[in-house]
Amino acid sequence: MTDCDLVQSVAVATDSALSDRPTVLPRAWRSALALTIPLVVGVVSISGCSATSGHAHATTVQSTTTTTTTTPTTPTTPTTPTTPTTGATTTTTTTTTSEAAPHSLSALHGMVVTIDPGHNGGNFSDPSYIGTLIWNGRENETCDTTGTATASGYTEAQFNFNVAQDLKTDLEAEGASVVLTRTTNTGVGPCVTQRAAIGNNAHSDAAISIHADGGPADGRGFAVLEPVADGVNDAIITPSQELGADVRSSFLAQTTMPISTYDGTDGVAPRDDLAGLNLSTVPKVLIECGNMRNATDAALLVSPAWQAQAAHALSSGITTFLLSRLLSHP
């Protein structure tokens, strides 16, 4: 199947999906559609069907140039120019394809994403507050924790905050509205219950908590933590699993962090003990981006360049999820 075939078949499938609202497309279809939407929307005019090979979030602009030439039928020589007599006229149509700047489609316009940078830089200063017991939907847990740190003292709270800032920039460039559960790294809290409420009250189309783990020193890698049904969150289990799958795929493909060697199964860990997941009424996952207690992971986690890479991967996964939802629930 060529790119052209894909665009055409997707256009048909899209029409079908829109006219049959209850239909939820198979997952594989929705992923393919999500990746193709910007291409379908971005083609200004199609003359012939040249390859639209831009990446998923780029605008593809085509321009058509028509050139008319006359080919002489009378042979000429350089030394004896002659006037051509009747000749055949041919018309050549050249279609050129160029990529405009990425993100110009505002593909996520009207969508809300809540980003929850785990912990807070000031949590160390107020143990009584963060130690307050809260109800997490199944049991009591503390309001928050300090989070972990690398062997050299680089805090998880700082890492989480930096990635969240980069992710906010990426998602806003795609047109999304972004809500943060904290806007500095010098405060205390909020409690995990409030973090869940912020995402719920914003009617988020997706929410993500960003963390890095304090695992065994010989363990490496990232894991996506997904909610387990507890009544409150029943309606968001399936979409959260889809969000988790998209985030896991993009993080694996677009960062240098491997799948966790010690947490979850193949990079996914269902968790029923976290307020942020138990109390969510919007699709939500938590990602442990790596293990701060592992020297190899830590070297990546403290790098601003790697943090930006991680944020971009998260943005890609979230975008894939949101565009898939748009098609299955227009």
Question: Residue with CB nearest Zn ion?
Answer: 211
3-state secondary structure of 262: coil
Which window, 9-17, 93-101, 116-124, 125-133, contacts Zn ion (CB under 5 A)?
116-124
Give the integer Cα–Cα distance in Å for 36 and 260: 30
Q: What are phi and psi of 151, to 5 degrees?
A: -60, -25
Is 3 or 126 the residue whose CB approaches Zn ion more closely? 126
At closest approach, how far in Å is the CB of 7 from Zn ion? 42
Which window, 19-27, 85-93, 113-121, 273-281, contacts Zn ion (CB under 5 A)?
113-121
Is 54 or 267 the residue whose CB approaches Zn ion more closely? 267
DSSP result, 229-256: --STTGGGHHHHHHHHHHHHHHHHHHSS
At closest approach, how far in Å is the CB of 120 from Zn ion? 11
Residues in 46-105 that interact with Zn ion by CB under 5 A: none
Beta strands in 86-180 (DSSP E): 87-99, 112-117, 133-135, 140-142, 177-180
Residues in 273-292 that interact with Zn ion by CB under 5 A: none
Is 41 or 217 the residue whose CB approaches Zn ion more closely? 217
Which window, 114-122, 170-178, 258-266, 313-321, contacts Zn ion (CB under 5 A)?
114-122
Residue type, 144: D
Q: What are phi and psi of 263, to 5 degrees?
A: -115, 125
Strand partners, 208: 115, 285
In the set 38, 54, 117, 118, which binds Zn ion (CB under 5 A)?
Answer: 118
In the set 211, 248, 284, 293, which binds Zn ion (CB under 5 A)?
Answer: 211
Q: Kindly report the number of other CB atoms within 10 A of residue 66's CB atom.
A: 9
Which window, 23-31, 176-184, 205-213, 299-307, contacts Zn ion (CB under 5 A)?
205-213
Is the sign of the CA dihedral 199, 202, 208, 209 positive or negative?
Answer: negative
Give the integer Cα–Cα distance in Å for 174 and 245: 20
Which window, 208-216, 226-234, 236-244, 255-263, contacts Zn ion (CB under 5 A)?
208-216
Q: Which two tokens stand for residue 306?
A: 């790697």
Say whether the peptide bond before residue 190 is cis (omega within 30 degrees of 0): yes
Is 144 or 205 the residue whose CB approaches Zn ion more closely? 144
Q: Kindly report the number of other CB atoms within 10 A of residue 259's CB atom.
A: 18
3-state secondary structure of 284: strand
At closest approach, how far in Å is the CB of 156 from Zn ion? 5
Active site residue 141: no
Is 23 or 152 the residue whose CB approaches Zn ion more closely? 152
Q: Which two tokens stand for residue 131?
A: 């130690």
Is 155 or 319 the residue whose CB approaches Zn ion more closely? 155
Class of residue 276 by CB neighbours under 10 A (exposed 0-12, middle 13-18, buried 19+): buried
At closest approach, how far in Å is the CB of 62 from Zn ion? 47
* Catalytic position from the list 156, 174, 242, 288: 288
Give the integer Cα–Cα distance in Å for 238 and 228: 10
At closest approach, how far in Å is the CB of 109 from Zn ion? 31
Nearest to 309 by CA among 178, 163, 158: 163
Is 147 or 215 the residue whose CB approaches Zn ion more closely? 147
At closest approach, how far in Å is the CB of 210 from Zn ion? 9
Write the interaction track for Zn ion spanning residues 141-170; mark x where CB under 5 A is met and - where it is not. Answer: ------x-----------------------
Number of residues near Zn ion (by CB under 5 A): 3
Give the integer Cα–Cα distance in Å for 96 and 117: 44
At closest approach, how far in Å is the CB of 211 from Zn ion? 3
**Residues interacting with Zn ion, by CB under 5 A?**
118, 147, 211
Any idea which residues carry the catalytic annotation?
A: 288
